[in-house]
Structure 1
Amino acid sequence: MTETPADPIMEAIGRAVMAGQTGDKAAARATLLDLWAEIGVVGDPLHRCTLAHSMADLFEDAAQALAWDIRALDAADAATDERVQAHHAGLQIAGFYPSLHLNLADDYRRLGSFAAAEAHLDEADKSASHLPEGPYGDLILSGIKGVAAAIAARDTAPRPSAPGGRGLPLVGIHLSRRPK
């Protein structure tokens, strides 16, 4: 694997995510908001995507999570493979989309907007071929099935199996692609 230089913003995002996962969600949100102000709304798309996707996971409220997940998707649309590979050799921006669309589907589902949820779930499913083999890919595929079942049941309750209580991480999108 090719070594890449340290990225202080990505490292700070990672530390904030860890704080949130260990129960200090308020500190994690404060750190990520400070970083968001530093990055800016037109800053590095990889930074914006990762931060927004991580920030969404810190909110139990589906509307707040939705706002951050939309920001993450918008940033992913501006990112390039060259940029994500500068961070981690072998990454492809296409591998981000299954998780991004899955989280949006879940946000919309929780808000009772089932048509929007189904549209994003379809996008998550279409992009699933870009998932890596292994636990992360399996997690996202399982999430797609779980959200599909919840949409079919018109269930708006938070899914207890969602990591962090609501979202599916970008972290773990690595080198290989799932065969088509």
Structure 2
Amino acid sequence: MDEPELIMARLAEGVDLAHQGDRGAARQRLAELWTEVGEDGDALHRCAIAHSMADLQDDPKDELVWDLRALNAADLISDARVREASHAQSVAQFYPSLHLNLADVHRRLGDPEQARRHLKLGYECASTLPDDGYGQLIGSGLDRLAERLQVAQQKRL
């Protein structure tokens, strides 16, 4: 297995630890991987690690930092790199999930304006999602978050 594939395999192992309930070990594994890849490493690896690491944070402020790292790294990924490393055809397919996560963390941090901004961006790029379980998961996540934001706004009125 070459180095890029090894990085993704190790990332998957870290995510599996989280799914097994060991968030602390998962965070440690991904933090080590982040350090190894480095701030200037492969943008696809940085995006994937940061996107996963955000989900492992206990504090929404820390989650926001990781979500922003993932978004910033995504902006540096080429479509050719995406096709080389994944089933996706374009980096554009990453953005609905990235914006969904950012919208949700902004909502939890009490910033509905930023939450709505990222929700809008997520919807705007949702047409890039494949028509499969993943696409449906992200699309329904956007819809659920839109409902939460609407309900929260109505409660304030």
- Return the TM-score normalized by structure 2: 0.92
Equivalent AA in structure 2 for residue 50 of structure 1 = A
Q: Which residue of 1 aligns with 2:90?
A: 92
Flag the structure with higher helix content. 2
1:39 aligns with 2:29: no
* 1:22 corresponds to which of 5, 20, 23: 20
1:10 aligns with 2:8: yes
1:63 aligns with 2:61: yes
Equivalent AA in structure 1 for residue 53 of structure 2 = M
* 1:145 corresponds to which of 143, 146, 151: 143
Equivalent AA in structure 2 for residue 148 of structure 1 = A
Distance 1:6 1:43 in 2: 11
Equivalent AA in structure 1 for residue 127 of structure 2 = S
Distance 1:16 1:154 in 2: 35
How many residues of Structure 1 are paired with residues of Structure 2 in the alignment?
A: 152
The Cα shift of 1:90 comes to 4.6
Distance 2:92 2:99 in 1: 11
Distance 2:85 2:23 in 1: 26
The Cα shift of 1:85 comes to 1.2
Whether the 8 Å CA contact 1:36–1:48 is kept in 2: the answer is yes
Distance 1:20 1:91 in 2: 27
Distance 1:145 1:92 in 2: 23
Equivalent AA in structure 2 for residue 104 of structure 1 = L
* 2:48 corresponds to which of 47, 50, 54: 50
Unpaired runs of 5+ in structure 1? 156-180
Distance 1:89 1:126 in 2: 21
- Return the TM-score normalized by structure 1: 0.80
RMSD: 1.7
Equivalent AA in structure 2 for residue 30 of structure 1 = Q
Query: Which structure has the higher relative contact order (CA within 8 Å, separation 6+)?
Result: 1
The Cα shift of 1:6 comes to 6.6
Q: Which residue of 1 aligns with 2:108?
A: 110
Equivalent AA in structure 2 for residue 99 of structure 1 = S
Whether the 8 Å CA contact 1:5–1:87 is kept in 2: the answer is no
Distance 1:60 1:39 in 2: 23
Q: Which residue of 1 aligns with 2:127?
A: 129
Whether the 8 Å CA contact 1:16–1:32 is kept in 2: the answer is yes
The Cα offsets for residues 60-102 of structure 1, whole Å up to 9 and x where unpaired, read as 3211111100000000001111111111255310000000000
Change (3 A) 1:6 1:70: closer
Q: Which residue of 2 aligns with 1:101?
A: 99
Q: Which residue of 1 aligns with 2:76?
A: 78
Moved over 3 A (4+): none
Unpaired runs of 5+ in structure 2? none
Distance 2:56 2:143 in 1: 23
